[in-house]
Amino acid sequence: MRQVVKMMRVAMSAPVAGVTRFMSPSCGPLSVLFHGPVPRAIGQEKTGTCLWEVSSGHRLGFLVGETQPMELEICLGGVSVPHIYIEEVAGHVGQQVTLKGWLYNARYSGKLVFLQVRDGSGIIQCVLFKNDVSDQAFELARTLTQESSCIVTGTVREDKRSELDYEIAVSDLALVHMAVDYPITPKEHGVAFLMENRHLWLRSRRQAAILRIRASLIRAIRNYLDSHNFVLVDSPIFTPAACEGTSTLFETQYFDEKAYLTQSGQLYAEASAMALGKVYCFGPTFRAEKSKTRRHLTEFWMVEPEVAYLQFDGLMDLMEDFLCEIVAGVLAERASDFAVIERDITALQRVVKPFPRITYDEAIGILTAKGQPVAWGDDFGGDDETVLANEFDRPVLVHRYPAAVKAFYMKRDADNPKLALGVDLLAPEGYGEIIGGGQREDDLNELLQRIDEHGLPREPLEWYLDLRRYGSVPHSGYGLGVERTVAWLCGLHHVRETIPFPRLLDRLKP
């Protein structure tokens, strides 16, 4: 809280040039309020009022090259007004604070101005009465444009007329930079336009809330794995060749040879698990598939835990416990953001153990009964997953798929070799598969046979086969797609809003 001990007022008439020095009689912070043209020393060119805080010291010097008159208020020997974030205002009621942010929206009513200011942590309404502030500050408030950066000083007070129950009674306002013709107005816009302006769209209340939820989810994932003694061992982004399946890879030049961007860190995670037991990798993944749906990105983030000596039933237990804890963690941390995006979280609060577990065969039965038959041996489509998920009030685990539709490294079910020990976790409300996992084939000869059946070359997989030559053990793991999970948590129609700068089939910019 600022406690002004002494105030000096210095009026200067134009033209004044050179260095002006003020000697402070004591140590301590120094606040300077400039009325009129701001000195060049601050790097400003526009007229206005500027709050300049000098951390400590006795001497203040600046260039005055303006041709307009200038007036200074110098507050000496006091404590400067503390800068706080909007999310902290509840703890500063009745106190004078400084907010540093951007203008989100404004309304004017004659001698009264309402500024909605955002600072990344939230949005708060700042009120200026003409009679309570300087003419310069009031004029600035009237002309401040959307997304102009500004510094607000004022008193926090509770007021039910404001959306957040709090508002700032402004005593001073300073311009940092005036924005000109900000493209995204407070009215409605189309998705195409917003995606073109994604770098600015992020500033909107809704997008910021989604990104905070994403960050919270990633933190919850790391917290879970780190606290359960998983070791973070990241997999490479550059990979030498297509090791898995038919998915298209992004090709890039790696000095004198070709390299590909990773489409999964799993094979490397298996090697890491043989070294460190319980591991996970967490990074971007690239798929050059020509997929054009609400569930697909060409670049997305995936966390892939892998555990040595973990077998199939234990894997499903782990997936279940993991998902329950990370969902609960995000709900606890970001309740206000779920409110901002108007997500009804009662469905998310039902994400508790145990999850229903059904076999592929049982899933086929459900789909047939629901009038959406699937031939045995086919994989499920998006609509099939939605029908299955709608049968339950929480995520469902679908396990033991036909081996033919699963990757070469999946271990076969000992009770039925036509089935693979793979499991997908389907999110409720039609969000589909957010986790895919399985027990890995640990027998060298079986694995060689699978590789041949899938028509894959052995040579680039020799290092992977070494894992079955030198102390092979049963092991399992899974991969969770961050964006699909965020889309489900937020109730979004499309994954493109779950990542700051989405990369899609037809979008590489911005």
Site for RNA in 348-367 (CB under 7 A): none
**For the purposes of burial, counting CB atoms within 10 Å of the CB of 234, is it exposed (0-12), middle (13-18) or buried (19 or more)?**
middle
Contact between 382 and RNA by CB under 7 A: the answer reads yes
The 3-state DSSP class for residue 98 equals strand
Contact between 375 and RNA by CB under 7 A: the answer reads no
Please, which residue, 187 or 469, has the CB nearer to RNA?
187
What are the Cα distances from residue 85, in Å, to 52, 53, 158? 18, 17, 16
Helix or strand (DSSP H, E) at 396: strand 396-402
Contact between 270 and RNA by CB under 7 A: the answer reads no
Binding segment (CB under 7 A) for RNA, from list 6-14, 43-51, 72-80, 162-170? 162-170
DSSP 190-237: -HHHHHHTHHHHTTSHHHHHHHHHHHHHHHHHHHHHHHTT-EE-PPPS
Give the start-end residues of each E strand in 249-369: 251-254, 257-261, 278-286, 299-308, 357-359
- Give CA–CA dist 434/415, Å, rounded: 27
Residues 6+ apart with CB under 8 A from 401: 360, 379, 419, 420, 422, 424
The residue count for binding RNA (CB under 7 A) is: 75
Site for RNA in 280-339 (CB under 7 A): 287, 289-298, 300, 302
- Give CA–CA dist 241/262, Å, rounded: 9
- Residue 154, beta-bridge partner list: 97, 170
Token pair recorded at residue 283? 């990074």
Task: Assess contact for 36 and 89: CB atoms under 8 A.
Answer: no
Crossing angle between the packed helical segments 462-469 and 444-453, to the nearest 10 degrees: 150
**x/- site string to RNA, residues 4 to 43, per CB under 7 A?**
----------------------------------------
- Give CA–CA dist 436/395, Å, rounded: 13
Minimum distance from residue 299 beta carbon to RNA (Å): 8
Site for RNA in 452-481 (CB under 7 A): 479-481
Asked if omega into 510 is within 30° of 0 (cis), the reply is yes
Contact between 506 and RNA by CB under 7 A: the answer reads yes
Please, which residue, 391 or 433, has the CB nearer to RNA?
433
**x/- site string to RNA, residues 406 to 445, per CB under 7 A?**
--------------------------xxxxx---------
Contact between 372 and RNA by CB under 7 A: the answer reads no
One of 5, 42, 191, 202 touching RNA (CB under 7 A): 191
Please, which residue, 20 or 372, has the CB nearer to RNA?
372
Contact between 484 and RNA by CB under 7 A: the answer reads yes
Please, which residue, 68 or 143, has the CB nearer to RNA?
143
Please, which residue, 92 or 507, has the CB nearer to RNA?
507
Task: Assess contact for 153 and 51: CB atoms under 8 A.
Answer: yes
The 3-state DSSP class for residue 477 equals strand
Site for RNA in 85-144 (CB under 7 A): 105, 107-112, 114, 125, 127, 129-131, 143
Please, which residue, 25 or 371, has the CB nearer to RNA?
371
One of 190, 371, 455, 471 touching RNA (CB under 7 A): 190
Minimum distance from residue 506 beta carbon to RNA (Å): 4
Contact between 188 and RNA by CB under 7 A: the answer reads yes
Token pair recorded at residue 321? 């416990």
Minimum distance from residue 188 beta carbon to RNA (Å): 4
Minimum distance from residue 495 beta carbon to RNA (Å): 6
Site for RNA in 220-249 (CB under 7 A): 245-247
What are the Cα distances from residue 406, in Å, to 269, 383, 454? 19, 19, 10
Contact between 193 and RNA by CB under 7 A: the answer reads yes
**For the purposes of burial, counting CB atoms within 10 Å of the CB of 220, is it exposed (0-12), middle (13-18) or buried (19 or more)?**
buried
One of 135, 158, 163, 342 touching RNA (CB under 7 A): 163
Minimum distance from residue 371 beta carbon to RNA (Å): 16
Please, which residue, 21 or 46, has the CB nearer to RNA?
46
Task: Assess contact for 26 and 71: CB atoms under 8 A.
Answer: no
Minimum distance from residue 482 beta carbon to RNA (Å): 8
Contact between 450 and RNA by CB under 7 A: the answer reads no
- Give CA–CA dist 215/377, Å, rounded: 38
Minimum distance from residue 302 beta carbon to RNA (Å): 6
